[in-house]
């Protein structure tokens, strides 16, 4: 069940209140799940139950996405705001230094949280921020095209398209390698989430100059890339490995940019293995 929580974030404008939606289930060490731009926490549903067998899983809608409220007027959607906001969210939920798994924008945020010593481990699935300028322009263009399509489609047409495998491929083939595996309702819901994402343009604008250039020493880090990622091409994983040399770099066969639906068992295993590696062996 989705709930909401409000918390205070520090901004250049002074303290401001943010409110986000989240789902929480399971027991064990906390595991925070962060979705990509234009998506929502339901992107994690294919793996949530598997992860909740070992962890207290907290999936969140980032500010301005899904069911979460936008950030207060004038507050930037940049790394310097969102990463500390996620730390404040964890405090509000009574969570200290969770494991974090993030996809795309969420992967970049997970690495930024790690850089600021806010997490126990990181699994970054096709994280943003390791692109060349040309690759960034290509990805942003594809995202803007998806957003325009989501806005242009009347709901009856969207529902009709979602009922066929070909329609689901047309709607979501940019981010999934196996779009036919998505249920019609899931495709409708995520297209509506993309359409209604109040933070989309401001997040995209803030990401124009983002490059992740820092190492993340002393933490278990896994960077996993879908072999069929059409949005952030998999060669960016090599750059990510060079930037974070201690990270484990994993190829996800048969997976696209949002791999949780393409191969839930594989993605869950990668996340769980990373979290387990952070545990101190007992004597």
**pLDDT given for residue 283 in this prediction:** 38
Q: What percent of the chain is modeled with pLDDT above 90?
A: 95
**pLDDT given for residue 25 in this prediction:** 97
Q: Rounded CA gap, 268 and 274, in Å?
A: 10
Tokens representing 280 are: 């101190």
**pLDDT given for residue 280 in this prediction:** 54
CB neighbourhood size of 186 (10 A)? 18
**pLDDT given for residue 265 in this prediction:** 98
The predicted model scores a pTM of 0.96
- Condensed to tens digits (0 to 9), the pLDDT of residues 83-92 reads 999 999 999 9
Residues 34 and 109 sit within 8 Å (Cβ to Cβ): yes
Domains of the chain, CATH where assigned: 3-131+212-276 (3.40.50.1820)
Q: Rounded CA gap, 172 and 175, in Å?
A: 6
- Condensed to tens digits (0 to 9), the pLDDT of residues 122-141 reads 999 999 999 999 999 999 99
CB neighbourhood size of 155 (10 A)? 11
**pLDDT given for residue 12 in this prediction:** 86
* DSSP letters for 89-120: HHHHTT--S-EEEEETHHHHHHHHHHHTT--S
Question: Which three-class secondary structure state does DSSP give residue 220?
Answer: coil
What are 8's strand-pairing partners? 17
- Condensed to tens digits (0 to 9), the pLDDT of residues 63-75 reads 999 999 999 999 9
Distance of CA 101 to the CA centre of its chain: 8
13 pLDDT band, cuts 50/70/90, is: confident
Q: Rounded CA gap, 43 and 120, in Å?
A: 23
- Phi/psi for 29 (5° steps) reads -60, 140
Task: Tell me the pLDDT of the chain averaged across its residues.
Answer: 95
């Amino acid at each position: 069940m989705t709930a909401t929580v409000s918390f205070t974030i520090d901004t250049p404008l002074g303290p401001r209140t943010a409110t986000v939606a989240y789902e929480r289930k399971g027991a064990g060490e906390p595991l925070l799940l962060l979705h990509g731009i234009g998506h929502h926490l339901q992107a994690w549903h294919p793996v949530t139950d598997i992860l909740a067998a070992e962890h207290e899983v907290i999936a969140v809608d980032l500010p301005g996405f899904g069911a979460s409220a936008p950030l207060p007027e004038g507050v930037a959607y940049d790394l310097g705001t969102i990463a500390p906001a996620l730390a404040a969210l964890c405090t509000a939920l009574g969570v200290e230094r969770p494991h974090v798994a993030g996809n795309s924008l969420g992967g970049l945020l997970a690495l930024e949280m790690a850089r600021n010593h806010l997490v126990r481990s990181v699994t970054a699935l096709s994280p943003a921020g390791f692109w060349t300028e040309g690759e960034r322009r290509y990805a942003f263009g594809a995202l803007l095209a998806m957003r325009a399509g989501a806005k242009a489609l009347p709901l009856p047409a969207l529902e009709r398209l979602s009922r066929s495998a070909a329609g689901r491929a047309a709607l979501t083939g940019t981010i999934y390698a196996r779009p036919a595996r998505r249920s019609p309702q899931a495709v409708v819901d995520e297209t509506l989430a993309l359409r209604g994402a109040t933070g989309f343009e401001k997040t995209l604008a803030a990401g124009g100059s983002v490059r992740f250039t820092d190492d993340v020493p002393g933490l278990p880090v896994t960077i996993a890339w879908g072999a069929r990622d059409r949005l952030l091409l998999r060669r960016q994983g090599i750059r990510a490995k060079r930037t974070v040399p201690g990270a484990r770099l994993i190829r996800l066969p048969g997976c696209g940019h949002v791999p949780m639906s393409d191969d839930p068992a594989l993605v869950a295993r990668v996340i769980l293995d990373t979290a387990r590696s952070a545990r101190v062996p007992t004597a």
